[in-house]
Structure formats: C-alpha cells, structure tokens
Structure 1
Amino acid sequence: MKPRTKLIHGGISSDPHTGAVSIPIYQVSTYKQKEIGVHQGYEYSRTGNPTRHALEELIKDLEEGTRGFAFGSGMAAIHAVLTLFNTGDHIIVTDDVYGGTYRIVTTILNRLGIHTTFVDTTDLHKVAQALQPNTKAIYIETPTNPLLKVTDIKQISTWAKLQDLLVIVDNTFSTPYWQTPLALGADIVLHSATKYIGGHSDVVAGLAIVNNHTLGEELHFIQNATGGILGPQDSWLLMRGLKTLGIRMEAHEQNTKEVVAFLSGHPAVQHINYPGLTSHPQHDVAKQQARGFGGMVSFDVGHADKVADVLSKLKYFTLAESLGAVESLISVPARMTHASIPKDRREELGITEGLIRISVGIEDSEDLIEDLARALD
C-alpha cells in the first residue's frame, strides 16, 4: 500500500459496528460488563477507547510499528517514553533539541536520577565518546528544531544495537509521510501530533510508536498508570488530519523550495538552515533516509533589532508558537520555543537572537514570498 493510500485505508478505516466510513467519536468513560472481567474489549476509557484505538492503529501502520499510543500532548508522549528508564540510567540526547525536551530532561528527569548528555548526534564519533556503562538509550531529533540538523538514523541504530541501546526518534518535522525511523532501525518514534499530523492548529496531542510487543506492553502500562491519554474528540481530529497529510506535506514542501530559493538570494539573510539545500551539511543523509525535506526553515538576519523589524511588517506569516499548520507561522526560537534553554547554551548551539524559524504553509507561494520580501527589505 502506497503512503497516500495508507493514510486513508490504514488502521481501522471504518466502524465495524455500523460501517460508517468515519470512525465515530466514542464520548464515553466506562463500558458495560457482562460479568466481572467479561467485556467487549473496553472497560474504562483511560485504559482504552475505540476512537483513540483507531488512531493508535492508524499511526502504528503509518510508522510501520507494532503498537501505537496517543497522548494528551507531545510532551506527555515524551514523558511517558522517558519513564521507561530507571534511577541511575543515562541517555544520550541530540544537542539541538526542542526547548520542551531540554526542559524535561534537565529539570524533571534529573530529579528522578536519570542522567543525560547532550551530543551532536550527526557525528557518530561524538555519540560514541558520550557512551557510559549505564547508558540505556539515544534520543534523536531529526531534523532538529530549530537548526534543521539531520542525524543518520540507520547509522546510529546499527551502532546502538551493538551497545544494546534503545533508539528513540522524534519524527515531528518529517512525519511518517516523509520518514519512517522504525524501518531504519529505531525502536521508538515520537510525534508532537499538534503539528503536521493535526495540521490545522486545532488540537494538542502526542503520539508514540514502538517496534516490538515488549516495549508496547511496558508503554501501555505507563500510559494507563499515569493517565496522560488523548480524548476521543481530539483523536478523531487527528484521524481527519491524517487523511490529507500526504497532499499537505507535498504542498508544504513545494512552497518551501520556492521560499528557500528567494531567501538564498536576499542580502538581509546571513545563513539558511534547510536540508533540501545541497549546501546543507547533511543534505545527502536527508536525501537518503527521507522521501522529502519538509516545510521547516530557519534563517539568521543578524541581530534582534532586525528580527523585530521583520516581524512588524509581515501580513501572511503569523507570529505564533507551534508549526506544521496549513497557515504559515513564524517564531523567534531564542525568545519563544527555546527560551527555556540558558542563553549561553543557545549561543553555543547557534540559536542566536537573530535566528528566525518559519513553518511554510500551503498558501500561494507568491504571496508568501512577497510578504517576506516586504519585511526583509
């Protein structure tokens, strides 16, 4: 089944009870049991809900995994996955990682005695140097947020298996339409489904997918025990969003190519981060492991004053947190999504005060380019 067909016909594509081609919203908390412990597959909606289950089956199929899980937010999904580890364990984490992920591992996990080392995971030698006797996993974000660095998932996964480590991949920027990390050797895939999977800025959600039944049982136990589940209404919205993911991702990418071509020739732009550029350090890796380069771009205009000037003149790019929606969004990582990272750490990574991140929407590309031209000029 081809990717665009799988988006429509994967998982549970119709209601087995009525034949409805759209899975109903089962707005229910509990279920009638015939006798104690005898039920029709569901007993309490924290443990399982038919609408959420349909979403979880669909994302499992799309990511080529064995089991999927839907959570109330991307951070809830990340927290649940990181709860698989124990006091004294060590995790290697991509250095250029989303601010929320940085915050949870440095201010929450550390309280539990789970230690982390931030490493440039695009360099396997640096990853190997960070290995400790108590290392249990490698957490990769690729492409990264906001510098769009690309880690070779297959290379890292092959090395990790020799060290008996789990490989966790945040696949938010690429989505399963462009990239399937489990097929490249990863063990767990994460998504902030708020972004491209939902696609319409109307839902907050997270997804996790595993590649074996043991991990599935462990993660389901954590999800049920801690309760960070996604509700049926939001589960339905994600399934609706997924049906158009393919055509949206293609439209995002086409617009992004045109926007990047414009930015590349503008004198106010000092540097551009986009894996689709042949000048990108990991362009060949991105081309090899993904079917597309996505709709995220970051570029540097030099200093904060220039950023403020650009933002004040935009019409179609909306200044907002988040990304991956049909409308184009713009943000300043140092002051928004990555503000929780200390300033010296941001500067060390290259997240400068002049860095702008854009999520290119599916509007007419000429309007988007004219908008950026007016602002940058």
Structure 2
Amino acid sequence: MENFDHFDQEVCMHFNTDSDPFYGAIIPPEFGNSLFVFPTFEELVHAENDQLHHYVYWRGQNPTVEIVERKLAAFERGEICKCFASGMAAITAAVFNSVRAGDHVLCISNIYKSTLELLKYLDKFEVSHTVVYSTDKKSIEKAIQANTTLFFLENPTDMNLQLIDLQLISRIAKPRGIRTIIDNTWATPLFQKPITFGIDIVVHSLSKYLGGHSDLVGGAVITSIDIMNQLFNNEYLLFGGIMGPREASLLLKGLQTLPLRMKCHQENAKQVASFLASHPAVAKVNYPGLQAEESQLSKKHFSGFSGLLTFEIKNANYEAIKRVINRLRIFKIGVSWGSFESLVISPNYGNNVDELKRKHISPGLIRLSIGMEPASALIADLNQALS
C-alpha cells in the first residue's frame, strides 16, 4: 500500500489533462455549452452519424466529461468509459443493455439494495432474477438457469463484505455466453481492476471515493468498445442520464487527491477494525483488510483496501442499534460513503428483520464509512458509544 502503481498515479494527476489545448490552463475548463456548431452541413451530418467520437450536443459528448472518461477507462484498464448523472443511471444503462425479455439475471451474493430494486422492476419486462448467496463454484453453477444471460456482483459484497473470486466468475460465465457486470465502487480502480480478471463491464458510483468530497453525484460504465458502441447509441443517448461538466470538473479534482485519501482511509479503517474486533460488545467485524495476509482472495484481487466496513453487535436488535448510533458524535448519521467525513448507518430499520435474515444480513449489523479524522478520535467515539 505504501507504493502505488506509477501509471495509476499518473492517471489521477495528469493523464489526459494536458494544458496546451487550453491556453496553458492547469485545470481544464468547464464546457457549459449545450451544443456545438459546424462550418458546413455535411460536417454536421458526419458528426451526427458518429456522436461517440464527435461533439454535437451535450447529451452525447462534452469535452470536460470526456477528459474524465478517458482517465477512468485507463484507470480500470478498460477500452472506453461513459459517465452518467448517478451511479444508478450507470447501473441501469449497463443492465438494460445486457438483457431482453425472457432473460434471467443471477446476482452473486449481496448487492446494493437499489440495484436489486431495479432488477425487481425489470419483472414487468419479463426479465427475472435470483440471488445465490454462496460464492463457491458448485453453488453458482447450480443457480444458473437456461435463460441466464447476466451475472451481477460486487467485490466485496454489499454489507457482509465477502470476497468473490472474479477469475472464477469469468471462467463460469464466458463459455456459457453470460455477460458479467461488477460494481467496483468499494475498492476503486486504485485497489482492484476487475477487467483484468475477465469481467465485461465495470460500474461505479462516482459520488463515493472517486469524488471524495460529498459534493457530486455521478456514475460510470467502463467496458469494451464493442459493448459501448451499442450502449452509447441506446441506453446512453436515449435514456439521457448524462453527467454535466460541473460534476466532471469536481471529479477531476477528486481524482487528483485519490491516492493520498485512500491511504488515509485504509490506515484509519485498519485501526478501527482491529479495535472493534477486540471489543466485548462486538460479535463480528467484516473488513477484507483486517486479515488480508491470510486471505488468498485478498492477495489475488486487492492492492489495498478502502474505508468502508461493517460490524455486528452481540445485542442484535433495533433498540440496541439505535442506542449505539445515536451516541456517536464524530460519526455522522447519513447514507452514502467514501468521502472525507466519517458516517454511520444500519440496514436494520426496525421493521425489516425478516428481510435481512433472508438476505443473510445480521440484524445487529452497523456500517461505518471511515473518514479522514484521526483514527484515535474515531476509536474513542466508538468506544464510548459501545460502552
């Protein structure tokens, strides 16, 4: 973790932000114009027919957004990227591009609840889905149906933070013609590069670590040129869920500090996770960085670990969850994660315990987004809340 990949550092800092085209400006400008004009009608027609590679209208390509897209594609070792107005807009585009009526989607263990809601919504279009909670080869293969065309997964998995062998997933999927999509928001491209393990599409919520300052909402899809050619002309242009230049400019600034921020998030999270693992009120800590040296999957996939972790209290009920969360002072109560501030939340809302158990999630689970405050202060806050 002390030494980042030099190319990744270059991507975050300077890649594709040459100041020469912008009169020496060290920060690329925000192109806020909604349309672009042409010297001749013939040139407009040519550009309209290939909007992926020409500036015609903001809904297709924008120079500020394109700078970020080229960075993210290089960062993930993918061929091409398109940025969206939110993480869910990116996920929706990727999923809709991958299925048609009559298809089946297999979710590999726990995924983001809004992604699962999207898959439930697809029932109206005769696209079904199931979840397999065991991540071994036999269980996954057994869960595949004759009409399965898509695997959707996160690594680590949502809430429980289990690890999945991405190479295994690719080897199961490709011979069967099944497409694979992974949400790589937890690890960021700095710590995990799923495309290098054979995954077809990577999606991100840019609102989290890549933005890093709780001031933008955005999403990204990184994939091959072949897949993007189809996705751009349909789910991108037609759905219209595009990123604006202001958000792209904020994202550029977030990327510049990403390696430094992720180092701090990781170091703080390891200290907090170690403290929680030894606390008498804690039943379990879910954090891939806690025992990384003993985990072959950790060594295989990750060059580092982010600051999102979960833990389970022994008194696993809603009242106990409330007491712990409401006692915290440095940790702010709120959704989302991945920014400079520390946040806390629980999936236990008091009326959904049966649902949590069906999803193999402990009713005593609390999620922490470890920010950039001193680790000692965060530990002291947790200690007084758990006492």
Residue 69 of structure 2 aligns with which residue?
Answer: 56
Structure 2 residue matching 1:258: 3-state secondary structure: helix
Residue 29 of structure 1 aligns with which residue?
Answer: 34
- The alpha carbon displacement at 1:266 in A equals 0.6
1:312-355 deviation per Cα after TM superposition (whole angstroms, max 9, x unaligned): 2211101000010111111112339xx9xx64332133323321
How far, CA to CA, are the matches of 1:13 and 1:157 in structure 2? Answer: 36
* Correspondence for 2:303 among 269, 291, 295: 291
How far, CA to CA, are the matches of 1:37 and 1:133 in structure 2? Answer: 48
Residue identity in the other structure for 1:176: P
* Correspondence for 1:345 among 337, 342, 355: 355
Residue 300 of structure 1 aligns with which residue?
Answer: 312
Unpaired runs of 5+ residues, structure 1, are none
How far, CA to CA, are the matches of 1:35 and 1:5 in structure 2? Answer: 39
Note closer, same or farther for the CA distance 1:287–1:131 as it changes in structure 2 (3 Å cut): same
2:74 aligned with 1:91: no
- The alpha carbon displacement at 1:259 in A equals 0.4
Structure 1 segment 185-224 matched on structure 2, within 5 A:
185-210=198-223, 212-221=224-233, 222-224=235-237
* Correspondence for 2:338 among 308, 317, 324: 324
Taking only aligned residues, the RMSD between alpha carbons, in angstroms, comes to 1.9
1:67-108 deviation per Cα after TM superposition (whole angstroms, max 9, x unaligned): 1011011110000001112111111112311111111101x2
How far, CA to CA, are the matches of 2:244 and 2:153 in structure 1? Answer: 28
Tell whether the 8 Å contact from 2:343 to 2:369 is kept in structure 1 after alignment: yes
- The alpha carbon displacement at 1:219 in A equals 1.5
Deviates more, 1:119-128 or 1:183-192: 119-128
Residue 313 of structure 1 aligns with which residue?
Answer: 327
* Correspondence for 1:274 among 287, 294, 297: 287
2:14 aligned with 1:9: yes
Residue 362 of structure 1 aligns with which residue?
Answer: 372
Moved over 6 A (4+): none
Structure 1 segment 95-114 matched on structure 2, within 5 A:
95-106=109-120, 108-114=121-127
Structure 1 segment 58-77 matched on structure 2, within 5 A:
58-77=71-90
- TM-score, normalised relative to structure 2: 0.91
Aligned length: 370
Note closer, same or farther for the CA distance 1:94–1:14 as it changes in structure 2 (3 Å cut): farther
Structure 2 residue matching 1:270: 3-state secondary structure: strand
Identity of aligned residues (%): 35
- The alpha carbon displacement at 1:140 in A equals 1.1
Note closer, same or farther for the CA distance 1:97–1:224 as it changes in structure 2 (3 Å cut): same
- The alpha carbon displacement at 1:28 in A equals 1.1
Residue identity in the other structure for 2:32: Q
2:260 aligned with 1:247: yes
How far, CA to CA, are the matches of 1:123 and 1:94 in structure 2? Answer: 10
How far, CA to CA, are the matches of 2:258 and 2:134 in structure 1? Answer: 28
- The alpha carbon displacement at 1:157 in A equals 0.8
Structure 1 segment 145-164 matched on structure 2, within 5 A:
145-164=158-177
Structure 2 residue matching 1:263: 3-state secondary structure: helix
Tell whether the 8 Å contact from 1:307 to 1:356 is kept in structure 2 after alignment: yes
Tell whether the 8 Å contact from 1:316 to 1:368 is kept in structure 2 after alignment: yes
- TM-score, normalised relative to structure 1: 0.94
How far, CA to CA, are the matches of 2:18 and 2:172 in structure 1? Answer: 37
Structure 1 residue matching 2:40: 3-state secondary structure: coil
How far, CA to CA, are the matches of 2:281 and 2:342 in structure 1? Answer: 20
Note closer, same or farther for the CA distance 1:263–1:105 as it changes in structure 2 (3 Å cut): same
How far, CA to CA, are the matches of 2:347 and 2:374 in structure 1? Answer: 25
